[in-house]
Homo-oligomer: A and B are copies of this chain.
Amino acid sequence: MMMNIYRSEKNPIIKPENIRPFLSNFEVIGVFNCGVTKFNDEILLLLRVAEKPIGGSSDEILIPLLNSKTGSISIKVFDKNDPSIDFSDPRFLRSTREGCYLTSISHLRIARSKNGIDFNIDIKPALFPEKEYEESGIEDPRITCIDEKYYISYSAVSNITGITACLASTYDFRTFKKHGIIFMPDNKNVVIFPEKIKSKYYALSRPASGEFFVNDIWISESSDLIYWGNHKRLMGTRKRYWDSLRVGGGAVPFKVDEGWLEIYHGASEDGRYCIGAVLLDYNEPWKVIARSKEPVIEPEIDYELNGFFGGVVFTCGVLYEKGVVKIYYGAADTAIAYAEVRLSDILEKMEYQAGL
């Protein structure tokens, strides 16, 4: 039975051609995976903007890299004919000698809207790579508002340090403070709960075990959002489901009558990314109550099926209002789309069972 989804007729609501490149001699190849929050009387998105260097011969791949000492972006050139390098994935290359490099570099940029559909997009980044661990960019922000302070959890990528989970904060979305790495590599998809639960903050994250091929969602606790511990595995992949290969947190969880609702992503062996939901216990959020049997949103429409990396819907943020879940999501690692789903529809189609 299909979910009733309303996708905006204006989808994709933000496309690469709407974004002015920040770096000279770069093009914007993707604007996707945005965090969302309400700020003052507006809906604010924090966009992931991926830029790629223009130029190079047909035999070359140009890799953009931050030089953390100077703050400038340099270009490292790889030879497409080098047999020791795997170029099969458009998102990165793998060199047996030099490790992994992303083919684009992402920063975070603000977009503002009164109606949640038509956005004014800043010309300059809100957050830009600066540190050694951000050498290949900063990605996939989530925004959690706690006591009028906005916490931004994002992923940083670097050939030197791998994929790390980082934290920044702001009061005004004009000046930002970076708080460094909260989870060591490889870890991404951090979403921080919007309030303390029995005197502790909680966050979901997705550590990856390269040795054991595990890509599950974990839950961690903290007293101050900087120092984290008591890490527990929350939920894993499910064989023969839409989330059989990897799962990761999506939106900041929000309270519903039944518990915390977390809109997350799952990928299957064929590389298809879908959006689903998991319900967590209200007081003990490390307990799973129910989980979407089928995806809430799956890639079906042209802009979801085709793009820089097709067959992907991926959310970093939703708004929940009056029984409606308003989902901002990256489509095909290229553009941002918007959809609405009734909470009751999501809850009705979940599998309520323990020990998932």
Instruction: Report the minimal beta-carbon distance from A115 to chain B, rounded to whole angstroms.
Output: 39
Instruction: Report the minimal beta-carbon distance from A338 to chain B, rounded to whole angstroms.
Output: 30
Residues of B with C-beta under 8 A to A208: 185-186, 210-211
Q: Is A347 an interface residue (CB 8 A)?
A: no
Q: Is A182 an interface residue (CB 8 A)?
A: yes
A:179-219 near B, CB below 8 Å: 180-187, 205, 207-214, 216, 218
A218 to B187 Cα, complex, angstroms: 14
Q: Is A333 an interface residue (CB 8 A)?
A: no
Residues of B with C-beta under 8 A to A162: 207, 209, 211-212, 214
A223 to B180 Cα, complex, angstroms: 17
Residues of B with C-beta under 8 A to A132: 233
Q: How large is the interface on A (under 10, 10 to 19, 20 to 34, 35 or more residues)?
A: 35 or more
Interface SS majority for chain A: strand
Q: Among A15-23, A59-67, A224-232, which stretch is in contact with chain B?
A: A224-232
Residues of B with C-beta under 8 A to A77: none
Residues of B with C-beta under 8 A to A187: 184
A184 adjacent to B231 (CB under 8 Å): yes
Residues of B with C-beta under 8 A to A213: 99-100
B231 adjacent to A211 (CB under 8 Å): no
Q: Is A268 an interface residue (CB 8 A)?
A: no
Q: Is A46 an interface residue (CB 8 A)?
A: no
A229 adjacent to B228 (CB under 8 Å): yes
Q: Is A236 an interface residue (CB 8 A)?
A: yes
Q: Is A222 an interface residue (CB 8 A)?
A: yes
B227 adjacent to A159 (CB under 8 Å): no
Residues of B with C-beta under 8 A to A228: 227-229
Residues of B with C-beta under 8 A to A185: 207-209, 212, 214
Residues of B with C-beta under 8 A to A182: 229, 231
Q: Mark A23-39, 1 if CB is under 8 A from B, else 0.
A: 00000000000000000
Identify which of B210, B226, B230 contacts A209 (C-beta below 8 A).
Answer: B210
Q: Mark A156-179, 1 if CB is under 8 A from B, else 0.
A: 001111111000000000000000
A227 to B209 Cα, complex, angstroms: 21
Q: Mark A268-310, 1 if CB is under 8 A from B, else 0.
A: 0000000000000000000000000000000000000000000
Residues of B with C-beta under 8 A to A209: 161-163, 185-186, 210
